[in-house]
Structure 1
Amino acid sequence: MKTFNFYKIIALFVAATFVVSCVQDDEFDIPNTAVEAPNLEGDVITIDALYNALQQEIANNGNETLTYAESNLFIEGYVVSNDEAGNFFEEIIMQDKASNPTRGVRVLIDVSPLFTYVEFGRKAYVKLDGLTVGFSNGVLTLGIQDGTSAEKIPEALLGEYLIRDPEVATIEPKVLTFSDFNDDNVNQYIRLNNVQFEASQVLGDNPQTYAGGAEDQFDGERVLESCESGQTVVFSTSTFADYKSLLLPAGSGTLDGLLTKNFFGEEFNVTVNDPTTVALDNDERCDPEQVDCGLATATGSNVLFTDFFETQAQNSPITGNGWTNFIEEGTESWEAYSDTGTNASLGISARMGSFNSGDDSSIGWLVTPAIDFDAQEGETFSFQSSNSFSDGSEMQVLISLDWDGTAANIPSANWSELPAAFIVGDDDFFGDWFPSGNVSLDCIEGTGHIAFKYIGGGNADIDGTYEIDEIEIRSN
């Protein structure tokens, strides 16, 4: 052992002497890792020009993809995705500008991870020769041509197709509201102000994680809602993300992420590179107040208010019988509706929807006449509801004890949810009608109004329709 230690010391001394003899004046040869300005042999076009070329190919030739060959063209953009946390896999998202972008594109690359090569904010170029552009999952996508589809660029060709620029820019999120969501803003880095996760997902005894639930298969889908409009959007996280088991933040605030679409390309989704940009740290949530008397076991025989809408004029706004039909935003109102098809009405029903409305936002109220809850006991409320692919639109059932009866003052009154009332959901079959249950109002004092509030818009992801019928308020 002593002999081994002696020779070990001699060896270390020789090695140290060799290293010192190779270095003069304390100068070391440091590898040059700086990215140099590329010498592109061709022309650079915008991502928007790429998009327009694809749209022209679709319009002129009916082809859903466009393949480039010997074009000597490149697109340029800034990387706004980051796969370090595992929420992106073998793809990057690029947008055309570091601030106020107009178009973005997804590039498929058979490499993981990619953040060590092109980090967030890195300016880069993509060579188009040999690539195919099309819409995959509803978003503009580039990849290697494989028949009529785009596949991932092989790892061996990474440096040939994805070319780095020395510039690493500060990306300024594009501030959007839910009503601003459209195809032009997909694949862009955005900011949503004054948002929160749905109360049922973050409050109570079983708060949800980003994507760590037993029911989460490929993605965890949570509901993000706007405190300003009440609109909602699906917040998506990969089950391969390393933060999937973190609890969702329970507060409200600001979220920076990317606008994308779901697997089927049918609905807008929001996702993030990692949780550090989910700044929902305001403890003051924007949930409406609730009045919850529970469900009644029986209903009385005294009818305080009822409407089955049979006397209403079809396809005309609901009027009469004490109703207040008020448009807060947009052009759509609650109207009488009758249909005997797959989504049949119950005779004549009341409905509201924003399909093909052209409205950025549609908010409509249908409010009952005043009910004096001190004049009797055992009040109950019931109705039937159905929908036509409600998507991201929403219907709320609310009560106010301080609305003064003036239509213009409806939005400024204090409205509370009636959580005991069952409202049809987007997952429920559109051809069925669902009873609300006998909602007890027996714990309420004073005079109040009950309202059906529709929230949606002309955008395809929030343009659903709700129908209601057989409305009754009873007491003992």
Structure 2
Amino acid sequence: MKYIFTKSTLLAIFLPCFACLQEPGTDIWIPEHSAVDISVTSDIGTAINSFEQSEKEIYTFDADDHIVVEAFVISSDEAGNFYKTLVVQDQPENPTHGLELKIDRRSYYSKYNLGRKLFLKLAGLSMQKENGKYVIGYLSGGSLVDIPVSLLDKFIIRSLETVEIIPLNISLEEVTKSMMNIFVALDQIQFIRQDLGKSFAAEAYDRYNGMRIVEQCDNLARSYLFTSTYANFRSNLLPGKKFDLNAVMSSDYYSRKINLILNSPEDLKQSEEERCDPVFFECPEGVENEKKDIIFYENFDELKSTKDIDKIGWQNVNKNFGNGRFRKRSADENGFLQISAYDSNEYVMEVWLVSPVIELDKSRDEYLTFDIRTTFEEGTLLTVWFSTDDTDDINKASWHQLDIKIPVGSRDGSNKEFTGTNSFQLDCLEGSIRLAFKYTGSDPGASTTYDLDNILILGDTSSN
């Protein structure tokens, strides 16, 4: 284990008393000047098991139970991105469990700094589970509240040791709720291109926090980066290139989405490498032709159930073998397909809807349109592709992405009308193709809902 002695630690050793002035509204801290003599009797994992075994919504550790656990600080409120929330984990490296402590103290970083080893006396404190996170606080009036500042030194014992926290290196498809309150590292990440030019959390629509979608370069799996509107870097523009980041894995109280929280903007390390955006396929500018014959059309009105999607020649494939699929839906006697990651329990949900073979040899000047309705907008998660490989195995086909603009929808389910997409020219393609609609969502995470209808390819068949 690597130990780091800070200035405050050295002062605490050599001076009998030292007072750190805090911002207005915080207490003055007088640090310890001698080693802590305390025995660890349990660990965070065992404390969590006690809560789970109780089967109570809020479990209070018995006041006579001398349970003391060791913990290491992994959050910092110095940049304003945490507020009265102290996050700790059980080990400085390769952690297995973490806790969120509700404390009535601002600017806690000056006392409980990143990497500080703490001893938590849990007797008299209470635990509950919020959106996958285990939270420790003080029980008052049947609710979990911040531990009063006057009681912090009773329950949270600060050692003289500060250690290096080694983030747990993960990929997004490995994320589970067991990683809540753990310090993690993600490599080769980028913000989605639709968000480039935006700030971390200073847009007009950002209330309380900014939620920006990040995607992983190797498979474009996505998650959220959370930034408080009180963070001192909220107005910084999002980096345009790829980056690596270290962050606390957490979940949002209001949206219940798994997210990543930076301690500091320095924990996001931008590389000089270019972005990993897909190369879009585009036909050269074609000649507009008023002759419009239907080459391919599907409105899904004949479907009686989701199972019928396969019967009419479409493939409906979850690449990660989950249960999420495009589903048959209808409203006002109109049939359509719907896709959403909401309530799927799939943190990386990738679903492909692949068309039957479409022949383009007998036409020219073809273009594609379709109707879409986007609701519960949490970022653009739907893309459109094509393949010229005549195969029923989507993993063996060569896919090319089309630069089709998916309409942005409402934050709720209020918009009732479908919107047509831009017309996309296909006239430079020959032979047979398959279209594919790819959805990459997450639960909990970005789970925008799409309703898909009236897939149409028009062209001129007069000269064939």
TM range (shorter): 0.7 to 0.9
User: Residues 54-453 of structure 1 correspond to what in structure 2 (within 5 A)?
Assistant: 54-57=51-54, 59=55, 62-136=56-130, 139-202=133-196, 207-264=197-254, 266-291=256-281, 301-312=292-303, 314-316=305-307, 318-319=309-310, 323-332=314-323, 337-338=328-329, 344=331, 347-352=334-339, 361-368=348-355, 369-372=357-360, 375-377=363-365, 379-385=367-373, 394-400=381-387, 403-408=388-393, 410=395, 413-422=398-407, 425=409, 427-429=411-413, 432=416, 434-441=418-425, 444-446=428-430, 448-453=433-438
Relative to 1, partners in 2 of residues 1:227 and 1:257: Cα closer, same or farther, differing over 3 Å?
A: same
Deviates more, 1:221-230 or 1:362-371: 362-371
- The 1-side partners of 2:208 and 2:382 are apart by 29
- Aligned position for 1:6: none
TM-score, normalising length from structure 2? Answer: 0.80
Q: Counterpart of 1:85 in 2: which secondary structure?
A: coil
Whether the 8 Å CA contact 2:176–2:347 is kept in 1: the answer is no
Whether the 8 Å CA contact 1:68–1:130 is kept in 2: the answer is yes
What amino acid does structure 1 have at the position aligned with 2:352? W
Aligned-pair RMSD on alpha carbons?
3.5
What amino acid does structure 2 have at the position aligned with 1:173? P
Bigger Rg, which one: 1
- Structure 1 vs Structure 2: percent identity of aligned residues? 24
- The 2-side partners of 1:108 and 1:325 are apart by 45
Relative to 1, partners in 2 of residues 1:316 and 1:200: Cα closer, same or farther, differing over 3 Å?
A: same
Relative to 1, partners in 2 of residues 1:364 and 1:300: Cα closer, same or farther, differing over 3 Å?
A: farther
- Aligned position for 2:459: 475
Gaps in structure 2 of 5+ consecutive residues: 1-12, 17-30
* 1:21-64 CA distance string (max 9 Å, x none): xxxxxxxx941677644223x7532222222222223x2xx443
Relative to 1, partners in 2 of residues 1:453 and 1:265: Cα closer, same or farther, differing over 3 Å?
A: closer
- The 2-side partners of 1:107 and 1:297 are apart by 64
Q: Counterpart of 1:377 in 2: which secondary structure?
A: strand
Relative to 1, partners in 2 of residues 1:210 and 1:68: Cα closer, same or farther, differing over 3 Å?
A: farther
Relative to 1, partners in 2 of residues 1:331 and 1:395: Cα closer, same or farther, differing over 3 Å?
A: same
What amino acid does structure 2 have at the position aligned with 1:472? L
Relative to 1, partners in 2 of residues 1:420 and 1:115: Cα closer, same or farther, differing over 3 Å?
A: closer
Whether the 8 Å CA contact 1:259–1:268 is kept in 2: the answer is yes
- The 2-side partners of 1:297 and 1:435 are apart by 22
What amino acid does structure 2 have at the position aligned with 1:328? K
- Aligned position for 1:10: none
Whether the 8 Å CA contact 1:131–1:150 is kept in 2: the answer is no
- Aligned position for 1:17: none
- Aligned position for 1:15: none
Q: Counterpart of 1:52 in 2: which secondary structure?
A: helix
* 1:217-269 CA distance string (max 9 Å, x none): 32122111222332322211112212222211111131110111113262111
- Among 35, 38, 48, which residue is 2:36 paired with? 38
TM-score, normalising length from structure 1? Answer: 0.78
User: Is structure 2 residue 439 aligned with structure 1 residue 454?
Assistant: yes
- The 2-side partners of 1:303 and 1:330 are apart by 35
What amino acid does structure 1 have at the position aligned with 2:389? D
Structure 1 residue 329: Cα displacement: 2.7
Relative to 1, partners in 2 of residues 1:469 and 1:214: Cα closer, same or farther, differing over 3 Å?
A: closer
